[in-house]
Structure 1
Amino acid sequence: MGFADQRFNVNLSILFTELPLLERPAAAAAAGFAAVELWWPWTGTPTPGRLELDALRGAIEDAGVRLTGLNFYAGQLPGPDRGALSIPGEESERFRANIDVAAGFARSLGCTALNALYGNRVDGVDPAEQDALALENLVLAARAADRIGATLLVEALNKPESPRYPLVSAPAAVDVVDRVNEATGLGNARFLMDLYHLSMNGEDLRSVIERYASRTGHVQIADNPGRGAPGTGSLPLEELLDQLRKAGYEGWVGLEYKPGDEPSSDAFEWLPREAR
């Protein structure tokens, strides 16, 4: 086994960002990839107009790639925000306004994975209040995902880069997954296993895979240190992905790394073209 046995997609919110958004799907296709994923691309609004939605949908369809993952609205990414659904007031309302828009866009492209970032802790607000709001909003998101036959993903980030984000371990994220599934009865909430974030938290990645591979709905990778392409750091990513496959994970692996100083089109030399 090895990299050639995985199904990779390209995250167009961190790779090919030297290009305008509408040119990125075609660039990914030209690099040999058949699938892409996205953070919510309209950071300024959870409810973009039909022309903007249609333009991105058309760019993806014209490129001949498949959209396999989409984030719900999460504020300014990249930037200081880490989600919106647990933040009382305007941000939570913006998340709710986005739910059906994001689900509808995903459905129009056959996308079956929707990622809901939890949101930072807020000064002066009881964490228990934020957690109750988060569960309420995640239930709404899970039901919307279920209506389009999609999985709701819950992701752990890392404490060094996201010190106010409360889900900074695999067990913390899986606990939220369990609470959402218990509340909805749908069973469509799953863990998003980002090996870079988990490694930044100092977790034993082999143990995480052993414990949670069966609970995982999506995997993302970047090397560490540096959040670069596989081979630029010290993570044994090929071995870890082999362990995931042997544990029964057969889903997509999102390439969510920084290309460095080179063009994104040159950041895939580690992966033979026939394996993309």
Structure 2
Amino acid sequence: MRRYAVNCSILFTDLPLLERPAAARAAGFGAVEFWWPWPNAAVPSDGEVDAFCRAVQDAGVELIGLNLYAGDMPAGERGVLSDPARTAEFRDSVGVLLAIAERTGVRSFNALYGQRLDGVPAAEQDRVATANIAYAARAVGAIGGTVLIEPLARGLNGAYPLETAADAMAVVERVRAEGPDNVRFLFDSFHLASNGDDLEKAARAYAADIGHVQIADAPGRGRPGTGGIDFAALFGVLDAIGYGGWVALEYKPQGPMEQEFTWMEVHPS
């Protein structure tokens, strides 16, 4: 049976962040995921962390995924871990991540790679990124966690260097060469399809390395049925390769919220 979770950083955004877990529960979801909840703070206050954890717990939902600190995403940043000048900031945030994991039980953590920087050689950014991902992987590995590496859609995320499944897997392999083996590929239908990857081929090629699946249609990043992805075929492939993890809904609402989940009647959990 397919297990759906809802990303509360892109859905239910008409509500304050701390009200979204309860809204997801009211909509019938038992699991949620979030991007890093504090875009302007690698280390939020203890009170902010406590309020976030309580919102999840009080809603009675499971937190199944959380982004590592990725900088100011509303302002366009897509990760800081490849920036040599922000290594300390990134590593400080990992301690906060572990505190949230202890409170909520979340064990999957998406590490956005960071955009290319002017004046810093790409090889140096890649070296720093590899070291920082390995650092995070060792930290969450102590609690049974997994770090996820995700490509992002070209043209929408600045100079983000990971665009295809092969790009993400190259990073996974580099980090594994440093020792940690709890690093896997985040398969996102919107980002991969937007960049021209064949979803079936990518799923089959990297079946053993897929740690998490997120879905949105392409183009447009709306709910399934608003673009050109054949979700019946995609779900069939995921079943065929034995993927048994969560499928997170990470799409932009395009109308009343009650309409955003009607497609699930055709693809039930």
Q: TM-score, normalization: structure 2?
A: 0.96
Identify the residue that residue 267 of structure 1 maps to in structure 2: 260
Mapped contact 2:216–2:223 kept (Cα < 8 A): yes
Mapped contact 1:114–1:151 kept (Cα < 8 A): yes
1:253 aligns to what SS in structure 2? strand
Q: Does 1:33 align with 2:29?
A: yes
CA distance in 2, matches of 1:240, 1:49: 41
* Residue type of the alignment partner of 1:255: L
Mapped contact 2:39–2:74 kept (Cα < 8 A): no
CA distance in 2, matches of 1:93, 1:132: 15
2:16 counterpart (20, 26, 29):
20
2:88 aligns to what SS in structure 1? helix
2:52 aligns to what SS in structure 1? helix
* Residue type of the alignment partner of 1:181: R
CA distance in 2, matches of 1:34, 1:97: 30
1:160 counterpart (148, 155, 159):
155
Q: Does 1:42 align with 2:38?
A: yes
2:110 counterpart (105, 115, 128):
115
Q: Does 1:256 align with 2:250?
A: yes
CA distance in 2, matches of 1:196, 1:20: 25
Q: Does 1:191 align with 2:192?
A: no
Mapped contact 1:214–1:248 kept (Cα < 8 A): no
Identify the residue that residue 137 of structure 1 maps to in structure 2: 132
Cα distance change, pair 263–54 in 1 and its aligned pair in 2 (3 A)? farther
2:53 counterpart (50, 57, 61):
57
1:203 counterpart (197, 201, 208):
197
Mapped contact 1:155–1:167 kept (Cα < 8 A): yes
- Greater relative CO, 1 or 2 (CA 8 Å, sep 6+): 1
Superposition map of 1:83-94 within 5 A: 83-89=79-85, 91-94=86-89
Superposition map of 1:209-248 within 5 A: 209-248=203-242
**What stretches of structure 1 of length at least 5 have no aligned partner?**
none
CA distance in 2, matches of 1:191, 1:136: 17
Cα distance change, pair 273–57 in 1 and its aligned pair in 2 (3 A)? farther
CA distance in 2, matches of 1:219, 1:62: 26
Q: Which is further off, 251-260 or 71-80? A: 71-80
Cα distance change, pair 87–140 in 1 and its aligned pair in 2 (3 A)? same
Q: TM-score, normalization: structure 1?
A: 0.94
CA distance in 2, matches of 1:104, 1:227: 32
1:270 aligns to what SS in structure 2? helix
CA distance in 1, matches of 2:121, 2:52: 39
Following TM superposition, the consecutive aligned residue runs of length 4 or more in structure 1 with deviations greater than 6 angstroms are: none
CA distance in 2, matches of 1:55, 1:152: 24
Q: RMSD of the alignment, in Å?
A: 1.5
CA deviations 1:185-231 (Å, max 9, x no partner) are x3110000111100010111111011012110001110011100001
Mapped contact 1:16–1:263 kept (Cα < 8 A): no
* Residue type of the alignment partner of 1:219: V
**Displacement after TM superposition at 1:242 (Å):** 1.8
* Residue type of the alignment partner of 1:75: G
CA distance in 2, matches of 1:81, 1:51: 25
CA distance in 2, matches of 1:135, 1:154: 11
